[in-house]
Amino acid sequence: MKILSLNVRGFAVKGKFGWVRSICIKERPCIAVFQETKCKVVSDSWVQSLWGDANFGFLQKEAAGKSGGLIVIWDKSAFEVTSSTNCDYFLSIRGKWRNSGEESTIVNVYGPHNDHCKKLMWDLLGNLLNSINSAWLLCGDFNEVRNSSDRLNSQFHQRRADRFNDFILRNNLIEIPINGRKFTRISDDGLKLSKLDRFLVTDNFIELWEDLSVIALDRNLSDHCPLILRDKVIDYGPKPFKVFDEWFNCIDVDEVIRDAWNQPIKGTRRDCMFRDRLKKVKMALKD
């Protein structure tokens, strides 16, 4: 399973279509959701060229003038859509995964900037979540942050963040952490950074997959990073050492670990220093 989410910031920008197409062909997502497409009605041939093959279905909310616009594309061999919902702030598709027969609802979100519209969106999404018993995934650009650390050099609104967190809490949603990147959006001048894009899921969505993780790709031609949700077990290699419960029955084990950890370490790279400390603890425990 692999799901791509990206705020495109306009497909008409030179090189943007080809860049997104290259991501779709390389990553081969089961489902792709795009925000701020700035597209009027698109044709099947346009989507086929973007997607890279003819085995697809798609749903679109066209842009209002030169702003907004949402598109959801899915691989028909991976996901069978049975119903959909089109709203001012989101598109959703409901269906079954063909490999398991399990049902899920995928929601492509593009949050408004206006505070009143944000409140309305949280209410509409909450009503939708409570109307259907399904495994839920909400993804996209929520145009909101959860805490002050999600912004750098830009204004943080505690009340708006509280509403967002309250929405997540009330609907029992869980955020899948993003690996390798703290912020997902950077301003044109490179000074303002924020985490506006994310994946929110329910417990029963997590239960469908063995190991969910999110990676951020290079931002390239958009001010937002493409995000990919995938179920992939990552092998980080052998563990530094094993810990046996029996060791903790030894009266002086705390002292052995503490003394080994506090030995001087040469170097400046923190990851290497951490590794070397673990090695010293390992040898001390062996002794």
Q: How many domains does the chain have?
A: 2
Domain that holds residue 262: 245-286
Is residue 55 located within the same domain as residue 166? yes
**Dist. CA 223–CA 66, nearest whole Å:** 17
Is residue 26 located within the same domain as residue 77? yes
Domain assignment present for 240: no
Cα angle for residues 70, 72, 77 (degrees, 5° grid) = 170
Is residue 93 located within the same domain as residue 194? yes
**Dist. CA 261–CA 214, nearest whole Å:** 33
Give the end of a domain, one of 231, 254, 271: 231
Is residue 96 located within the same domain as residue 167? yes
Give the end of a domain, one of 207, 231, 255: 231
DSSP class of 247:
G
Is residue 161 located within the same domain as residue 271? no
Is residue 278 located within the same domain as residue 151? no
- Nearest alpha-carbon partner for 50 in 83, 27, 80, 82: 27
**Dist. CA 78–CA 104, nearest whole Å:** 12
List CB contacts of 83: < 8 A, sequence separation 6 or more.
93, 94, 95
DSSP class of 155:
-
**Dist. CA 214–CA 229, nearest whole Å:** 4
Domain assignment present for 238: no
Residue type, 6: L
Domain assignment present for 61: yes
pLDDT at 67: 85
DSSP class of 43:
P
Residue 28 near residue 2 (C-beta atoms within 8 A): yes
Is residue 224 located within the same domain as residue 278? no
Q: String of b and e for 181-195 (b: at least 16 CB within 10 Å)?
A: eebbbbeeeeebbbb
Structure tokens of 77?
């061999």
Domain assignment present for 124: yes
Domain assignment present for 151: yes
- The neighbour count for residue 69, using CB atoms within 10 Å, is 23
**Dist. CA 224–CA 268, nearest whole Å:** 33
Residue 141 near residue 224 (C-beta atoms within 8 A): yes
Tens of pLDDT along the chain (287 residues)?
999 999 999 999 999 999 999 999 999 999 999 999 999 999 999 999 999 999 999 999 999 888 899 999 999 999 999 999 999 899 999 999 999 999 999 999 999 999 999 999 999 999 999 998 999 999 999 999 999 999 999 999 999 999 999 999 999 999 999 987 899 999 988 899 999 999 999 989 988 987 889 999 998 899 999 999 998 655 555 666 677 778 778 888 889 999 999 998 877 677 778 888 988 988 888 88
Decide: residue 167, CB within 10 A, 0-12 exposed, 13-18 middle, 19+ buried.
buried
Is residue 108 located within the same domain as residue 54? yes
Domain assignment present for 269: yes
pLDDT at 252: 87
DSSP class of 98:
T
End-to-end CA distance of the chain: give it in Å, rounded. Answer: 46
Domain assignment present for 178: yes
Is residue 265 located within the same domain as residue 170? no
* Distance from the Cα of residue 40 to its chain's centroid: 26
Is residue 57 located within the same domain as residue 129? yes
pLDDT at 102: 94
List CB contacts of 19: < 8 A, sequence separation 6 or more.
220, 221
Is residue 272 located within the same domain as residue 190? no
Q: Kindly report the CATH number assigned to the domain that includes residue 36.
A: 3.60.10.10
Domain assignment present for 215: yes
**Dist. CA 267–CA 272, nearest whole Å:** 7
Residue 121 near residue 112 (C-beta atoms within 8 A): yes
- The neighbour count for residue 216, using CB atoms within 10 Å, is 18
Is residue 219 located within the same domain as residue 257? no
